[in-house]
Chain A
C-alpha cells in the first residue's frame, strides 16, 4: 500500500491557474496564529502586570519619553518527535517534497487522526517547565479556514481547554544589556499541527504544495503582555529556546522554523492602564532580529503618538525586513477572522492521571533557571553564569568537569576563555571536540600541583581539543614536565648570564628591566618548562650577586 501511495504522490501536487496566482493577495483572511481568545485580549483593558521592574521602567521612560511599550509573544515550537502528531509519517527538515506523507496528513477521504502520545508528553514537560497548571482533561478542537497548505480545511488545535495554562518563566538579562532578573507570565501552552508549505514558481503562474510538514506537532506558547523592551522579548524567546532544548522536545532552530515567534507590540502613555492598538510583527529569524524589530516598532509607534497621529496605528500584521531594518505592513486586519472552532469529534479527550504527571515531573532535567541559581551560589559572576547555563552542552561539560574535582572558577575560566575561543574559531560546539571533562579537570590539577606551567597548560589544551588523548600522555610524549629542580635552573641561569656579558653589565649599571630579557632567555633554554617562580628567584639572586 505504501508503495502505491508514494508512487502517486512523489511528484509535487501542482496547483495551476490560467493567469497567475498571487497568494500574497489572498493571505488577508488567513491569519493563522490568532485565536478568538487571543484576539479578545487586545480589546479588553487589563491592568499592568506587577512584575515590571522599576529599573527598566525608568530607563525605558527616559528613552521613550513618557511612553511605554507592551509586548506579548506567541511562539510556535516544532516538536522533534519521531512521527507526526496524528499519523505515523516521519518529518525531516529539507527532505524531498511530498516524500513523507500519507492519506491522513494529506487529508484524504476517510482518513482519521490518531494522537501521537509523545506530543502529550512533550506538552506536559514544557507545561511543567513553564510552571503551568496542567489540564487533567483537555481536548482538541478544529480551527477552520481554507488554504492550499492546509489539507483538511481545518487545523487540529486546542481552543478553550489548552493542555497547560497560567505559568511563568524566570530569566536573567545579559550583563551587557544592563542585566537584571525578570519574570514573565505564560497565558497558555497548547498542542496543534503544522501546515504544509507552498512553493511558488518563479513566474508565479502556479504554486506547488509540499505536505511534508503538514501534521508535524507544534506547541504554541502564548505569553502574557509582560515585556516592555526588545531585549526583554528577545531574551524571553531565547529562554524558551533554552528550555525546549534542555527538555529535548525540540531543536529550537529558528532558521529551520522549528521555533517561530510572532510578536504583538503596542504603546501607551506611562500611567495608562488600557492597552494601545496592537500590531503584530512576523518574519524574524533570530533573537537579535526580534530585539531590533521590536525596538524599531516601538519608536515608530511613539513617533506617531508624538506627532498626534496615533490613529495611524492600526491592527495589522507587519513584516520585519532585515535589509532595511524596518517593519512594513503585510496586511491590515479586516475585523476578526471567524475560525468556527468546535470540538474535534475524531479524537477522544486527553485525560491525564496524576501518576503520569508525577512520572514526567520526576524525569525532568535541571532547567536553565535552576542551573543559573546553582552557578550563582558557587560564587560565579552573572556573566559566567549566563555563559555556562545558556548552552545545555556547555553546562553539562562544566558540571562534569566539577564532578571530577575541578575548581569551579578555574573550570569556568578555561571554558569561557581558551576553549570558547577555540570553538568559536573552529565553529564547533563543545560536545564536538575531543576534549573530555575528565581531561580538563586533570589539566587544571596538573597546573595547580605544579607539574606543568599555565603556559604549557594552554598548549596541552589545544592538543587535547584537536586530537584528544590524555593530559599525562601529552606531557610525557612532549616531555613537558615543569623543571622545578633549583640546581638545573641554576645551571641554565648561569649559562645565560655567562653568554650575555654585555646585558649583565647594563643590568648592573642600573637597567634592572633587563631581568625580563634574562628570564626569557632562560625560559627559552628550558623550552618553556622552567618553573617561572623558581627561575625568577634564582635569576634575581644571581644578577644581584656581588
Chain B
C-alpha cells in the first residue's frame, strides 16, 4: 500500500523558516493544528516552503520527500497518465546526492528549489531525457541541451521528475492530441485536463510533483490550470526565455508555470524568468523576487486591495459561457470587492476578433516552425525512392491530424495572393487587440475573466469538432496576441464529477506586472473561504 498523502507535512507552519524572505510568510499558521489526515478547507499552502524548511531543519530528507511524491505518482499515474516519461531513478539519485550535501554541512549550497520535484512539459528540451513534443516524429529524440527554463530550475536545485503529456507540439486544448496517451482530469477521470499543458496541470493537481512548467501560446497554461484547479501563470511575452521550447508560434509562445499555490508559482517564476542571451526576444527587465513580495495572511489589513481597480471583461460573461462559470466569476468579483478593490464592467470591443486572428497567426508561424521536422537530421525518417517522398512520408507518418491541419492552414495563409487577406489582416487585428487592452489597462490595474467558457468537459466530446474546441480558447488567446501576463487562480466549482469541477479566475495585467498579479492573486487565494482544491482522487486515500 502506498502511503497516504501526508497533508500535515504539507501544511507545516512557516514560522520556523530562516530569515531570507523579507516578509515572513505565515499565512497558514492557522491551519497548523488541522487534523493531519484531512485535507481541510482553507487557503492553499506553499509546498516549496515546507520542503525547504523540513530539509533545512533536518525534519525530513530529500529522499523521504521524493519517495512520497514518487509513490503518489505511481499510485495515481495509471488513471491520470500525466507523464510521457518518468525519471524516477534519476530523481531518487539526485535526492540522495542532495541529502549527502546537506549532511556534510553544505547548507549554503542548497538552492532555493532544493528537493523540489518539477514536471516539465515535453515540448521543453531536457538533455538527459527524451523530448518528443508529444509527437511521433520525435519519438526517441534526446536533445543535446536543456531548455533555459529547465537549466535554471536545475541550477536552483529542483529535481526534474519527468516529462508531462501535451497536445502534439502544443496544438490543442484537451491533451487528447498527444501521439502517446490521453491524460485524464484528476477531478474526474472521464474528463479532459485541458490543454495543451494538460499533463503539467494534472500532475500538480494530483500532487505527482510540486510544481511544473508548461507553455502557453493561446491559453495552454491557463485553461488546464482552470480545468484542474491549480494556479497557472502565463508570464509576459519575453519574460521567460523560449530557448529550448519547441516552437509552435514563436511570437505568441511563452513558458509558464503551475503550482498548487500562488506562492509556489511565484517562486518558480523568479527562478526561470530573466534575460537569456540565447533568446533575443527575451526581456532584460529586472526580475523581482516575486514570492518575497507576497503579503502574509496575518499581516493583511481588513481591506488589503484598497485602491486596486479591477475591470471585469463584459464580453467574457455573455452568450456561450456556462452559467456555473459565470456565477463563479461573479462570486470571485464580489470577493475582490469585499477585499477593498473597485470592480467595474469593462468592454473590450475587439475581443471577439482575437480568436480568428490568433488561429491565422499561430497556424502561419507553426507551418514554418514545424518545417524542421523533416526526418533528415533527427527523428523518424521513412525511407523512400526520392527526396520528396522521404519528406512526404516522414511527415505524413510522424505528424498527427491536428498538426497537419494547422500546417495546411498556415501554409495557405502565407501563400502568395492570400498573404494580405489573412496574415497581414490578422496582424492588423493583433494591433487592435493590443491597443484595446492598453486602453483598458490604463483605467484598470487588472482585468478579470473566466479562463475558459466551461469547466472540464468529457474526453472525446470535442475531438471531432475542432471549431468547438477552438472556440474554447476565446478567453485566453487575446492575452497572447497582446503579449500580456495573466494569472489563473482557482476560484470556485461547478457541478460535475464526484466533487464538482474547479473553475479558474483569469487575472490579466500590463506587461511585466507579474508581481502585482501574484500579489493580488495571493491575497485572493489566501482569503477565499470554504474551498479546497485538492482533488478527490487524493482524498480517497
Residues of A within 8 A of B (CB): 1, 4-5, 8, 13, 15-23, 25-26, 36, 103, 106-115, 142, 144, 146, 148, 151-154, 209, 211, 336, 338, 340-342, 345-348
Contacts and interface: CB of A to CB of B under 8 A. Distances in A.
In this complex, the member of A110, A211, A342 whose beta carbon has the largest number of chain B beta carbons within 10 angstroms is A110
B470 interface: no
Interface in B477-507: none
Question: Which 3 pairs show the lowest CB-CB distances between chains A and B?
Answer: A153-B371, A345-B250, A345-B251
Contacts of A142: 368
22 contacts: A1-B127, A1-B144, A1-B145, A5-B144, A5-B145, A8-B144, A18-B383, A20-B385, A21-B387, A23-B387, A106-B377, A109-B125, A109-B373, A110-B244, A112-B278, A148-B376, A148-B387, A153-B370, A153-B371, A211-B377, A342-B414, A342-B419
Contacts of B390: 15, 17
A17 B386 contact: yes
A146 B144 contact: no
Nearest to A1: B145
Contacts of B243: 110-112
B281 interface: yes
Given A17-B383, A148-B376, A342-B419, 12 more contacts: A103-B143, A109-B133, A109-B143, A109-B372, A110-B125, A112-B280, A152-B372, A338-B415, A340-B419, A341-B414, A342-B414, A346-B247
Contacts of B365: 342, 345
A154 B377 contact: no
Given A108-B144, A112-B280, A340 B371 contact: no
Contacts of A13: 376-377
Contacts of B250: 345-346
Given A17-B384, A18-B385, A109 B138 contact: yes
Nearest to B138: A109
Nearest to B280: A114
Nearest to B410: A340
In this complex, the member of A18, A22, A114 whose beta carbon has the largest number of chain B beta carbons within 10 angstroms is A114
Contact of A347 (B133, B280, B415, B423): B280
B133 A154 contact: no
A107 B378 CA distance: 10
Interface string B350-374: 0000000000000011011011111
Contacts, number: 135
B391 A110 contact: no
B361 to A, nearest CB: 9
A248 to B, nearest CB: 26
Nearest to B251: A345
B124 interface: yes
B488 to A, nearest CB: 25
Interface string B413-433: 011100100010000000000
Nearest to A211: B377
B277 A336 contact: no
B242 interface: yes
Given A13-B377, A112-B280, A142-B368, A103 B387 contact: no
B388 interface: yes
Contacts of B125: 109-110
Contacts of A108: 143-144, 372, 377-378
Given A153-B371, A340-B411, A346-B250, A114 B377 contact: no
Contacts of A151: 372, 377
B377 A110 contact: no
Interface residues on B, range: 35 or more
Contacts of B124: 110
Interface of B: 123-125, 127, 131, 133, 138, 141, 143-145, 147, 242-247, 249-251, 277-281, 364-365, 367-368, 370-374, 376-378, 383-388, 390-391, 411, 414-416, 419, 423
A406 B281 CA distance: 57
Given A338-B415, A345-B251, A16 B383 contact: yes
Contact of A110 (B147, B251, B364, B411): B147
Contacts of A346: 247, 250, 280-281
A110 B144 contact: no
A12 B1 CA distance: 52
Nearest to A348: B280
A105 to B, nearest CB: 11
A494 B29 CA distance: 126
In this complex, the member of A8, A152, A336, A340 whose beta carbon has the largest number of chain B beta carbons within 10 angstroms is A340
B383 A342 contact: no
A109 B131 contact: yes
B359 to A, nearest CB: 16
A106 B246 CA distance: 14
A209 B368 CA distance: 21
Nearest to A145: B371
Given A108-B144, A112-B280, A340-B411, A21 B386 contact: yes
Nearest to A339: B416
Given A4-B144, A13-B377, A109-B246, A338 B416 contact: yes
Nearest to A207: B387
A19 B247 contact: no
Contacts of B391: 146
In this complex, the member of B138, B370, B376 whose beta carbon has the largest number of chain A beta carbons within 10 angstroms is B376
Nearest to A115: B280
Nearest to B124: A110
A87 B384 CA distance: 33
A154 B387 contact: no
A8 B138 CA distance: 17
Contact of B414 (A25, A106, A340): A340
Given A1-B144, A25-B386, A153 B368 contact: yes
Contacts of B411: 340
In this complex, the member of B127, B367, B372, B388 whose beta carbon has the largest number of chain A beta carbons within 10 angstroms is B372
A151 B365 CA distance: 17
A532 B387 CA distance: 78
A411 B242 CA distance: 61
A209 B246 contact: no
Nearest to B423: A342
Given A4-B144, A340-B414, A110 B371 contact: no
Contacts of A36: 416
A5 to B, nearest CB: 4
Contacts of B145: 1, 5, 103
B531 to A, nearest CB: 37
A512 to B, nearest CB: 86
Contacts of B383: 16-18
A190 to B, nearest CB: 19
A110 B386 contact: no
A114 B277 contact: yes
Nearest to B378: A108
Given A106-B377, A114-B280, A26 B387 contact: yes
Contacts of A103: 143-145
A112 B279 contact: yes
B242 A112 contact: yes
A154 B368 contact: yes
A49 to B, nearest CB: 29
Contacts of B384: 17-18
B279 A15 contact: no
B247 A209 contact: no
Contacts of B376: 13, 15, 148, 209
A460 to B, nearest CB: 57
